C-alpha cells in the first residue's frame, strides 16, 4: 500500500519497482495489494514490476473496497466482486490471484453471498484461496461455513490488540492463517513519528492516535519502546515485528514501506531471536488501556467488523 496509497507522496514507479524486486531478492515470498490502493495503481505496479517473477511469491489482493469514478466505494454484492476481480486480473497481468480477500464487510450484503462469489471465482480458476480482512470471529465462522477461509487479515501490533479478543482464537480453531497488517503501527513503532507533521494525503493525519490530544501521550510510550529496542540491540521496527512473530506460528506480518533501507531492516527481523523477558516488557509498555485514542476515525470505524477491546469507546 505504501507504494501508491495513504502515506503522502508515494515513490515513483521506478523506485517502487526496485523496492519490490529487492524484496524478492531478500527472500520475501508474499506480496499483498488491493484494488483500492492508489485506485488500481498498486496492482498495475505489481503487474509491471514483478509478474515476470511470478513463481517466487504468493500474490494476494482484495475486493469489496474499490474505486469507482475516482471515489472509494464499499460494495460486497457478488456482481461487484466479479467486476473488481476481472479488472484486477487485467491490471496485474495474470490469469489468477493466489489469495483474494474481502477487504471489508459490506453490512448490506450477507457475508454468505460475498463469500459465495469468491467460491465461484475459485471454481473458475481466477483465484486459488479465499481471505477476509478486518472481520470478527463470528463473521469468520459464518464465512468459513460457506467455503474454507485461508487467511484473515487484520491490523495487529503491540499497540493494536483487537485480534486478541476473539479472532486469533477463531483462526487457530479453524486452521486459518492470520495476516497482520501495520505490524509496526503505521510507522509509530518504527521511529517514524515525532510530531503531527504529516504530508498532504497522509491518512495518519485523520487518525485519533496520531493527532493531539492523544499524540503526545502516545509518543511517551514510543520513547519507552525505543529505549527497550536499543537495549535489545535492534531497531524499534525489528522489535515490533519480532513481537508480532512471537504471537503464533500461523501469524504472518506484512510491514509496508516505500524505502529500500526500511525494507531491509524489516526483513532482517525474521532472522532475529528475542528474549522472552524483552517481549514481556513490550506487553508491559502497551498494557490494556495504555494507548490513547481510537484506532480509526468514525467514518472508517463504521466499516470495521473486528471486535472492540473492553476499554474502547466508539
Give the CA angle between residues 184, 189, 194 to the nearest 5°.
Answer: 135
Burial of 213 (0-12, 13-18, 19+ CB in 10 A): exposed
Rg for the chain, CA atoms, rounded: 19
Q: In what order do the strands lie in the sheet with 58-63?
A: 30-32, 58-63, 97-102, 127-133, 151-155, 177-181, 251-254
Q: Are 282 and 158 in contact (CB under 8 A)?
A: yes
Check 37, 101, 156, 296 and give the catalytic one: 37
Tell me the HSE value of 128 on the side-chain side, using a 13 A CA sphere. Answer: 10
What is the pairing mode between strands 58-63 and 65-68? Answer: unpaired
Q: Are 285 and 228 in contact (CB under 8 A)?
A: yes
Report CA 268 to chain centroid distance, whole Å. 19
37 given a catalytic annotation: yes
Burial of 59 (0-12, 13-18, 19+ CB in 10 A): buried
What is the set of active-site residues?
Answer: 37
Amino acid at each position: 500500500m505504501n507504494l501508491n496509497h495513504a502515506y503522502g507522496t508515494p515513490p515513483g514507479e521506478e523506485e517502487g519497482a526496485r523496492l519490490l524486486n529487492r524484496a524478492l531478492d531478500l527472500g520475501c515470498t508474499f506480496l499483498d495489494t488491493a484494488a483500492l490502493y492508489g485506485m488500481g495503481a498498486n496492482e498495475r505496479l505489481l503487474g509491471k514490476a514483478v509478474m515476470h517473477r511470478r513463481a517466487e511469491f504468493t500474490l494476494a489482493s482484495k475486493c469489496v473496497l474499490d474505486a469507482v469514478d475516482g471515489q472509494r466505494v464499499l460494495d460486497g454484492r457478488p456482481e461487484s466482486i466479479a467486476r473488481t476481480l476481472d479488472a484486477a486480473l487485467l491490471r496485474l497481468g495474470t490469469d489468477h490471484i493466489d489469495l483474494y480477500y474481502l477487504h471489508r464487510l459490506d453490512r448490506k450484503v450477507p457475508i454468505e453471498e460475498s463469500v459465495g462469489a469468491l467460491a465461484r471465482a475459485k471454481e473458475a480458476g481466477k483465484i486459488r484461496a479465499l481471505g477476509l480482512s478486518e472481520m470478527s470471529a463470528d463473521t469468520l465462522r459464518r464465512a468459513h461455513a460457506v467455503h474454507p477461509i485461508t487467511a484473515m487479515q487484520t491490523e495487529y501490533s503491540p499497540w493494536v490488540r483487537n485480534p486478541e479478543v476473539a479472532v486469533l482464537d477463531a483462526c487457530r480453531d479453524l486452521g486459518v492463517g492470520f495476516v497482520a497488517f501495520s505490524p509496526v503501527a503505521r510507522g509509530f513503532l518504527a521511529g517514524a513519528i515525532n510530531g503531527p507533521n504529516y504530508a498532504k494525503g497522509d491518512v495518519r493525519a485523520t487518525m485519533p492516535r496520531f493527532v493531539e490530544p492523544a499524540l503526545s501521550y502516545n509518543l511517551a510510550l514510543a520513547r519507552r519502546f525505543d529505549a527497550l529496542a536499543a537495549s535489545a540491540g535492534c531497531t524499534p521496527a525489528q522489535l515490533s515485528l519480532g513481537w508480532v512473530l512471537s504471537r503464533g506460528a500461523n501469524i504472518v506480518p506484512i510491514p509496508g514501506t516505500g524505502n529500500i533501507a526500511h525494507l531491509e531492516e524489516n526483513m532482517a527481523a525474521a532472522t532475529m531471536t528475542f528474549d522472552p523477558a524483552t517481549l514481556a516488557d513490550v506487553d508491559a509498555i502497551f498494557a490494556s488501556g495504555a494507548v490513547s485514542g481510537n484506532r480509526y476515525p468514525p467514518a472508517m470505524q463504521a466499516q470495521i467488523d473486528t471486535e472492540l477491546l473492553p476499554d474502547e469507546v466508539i
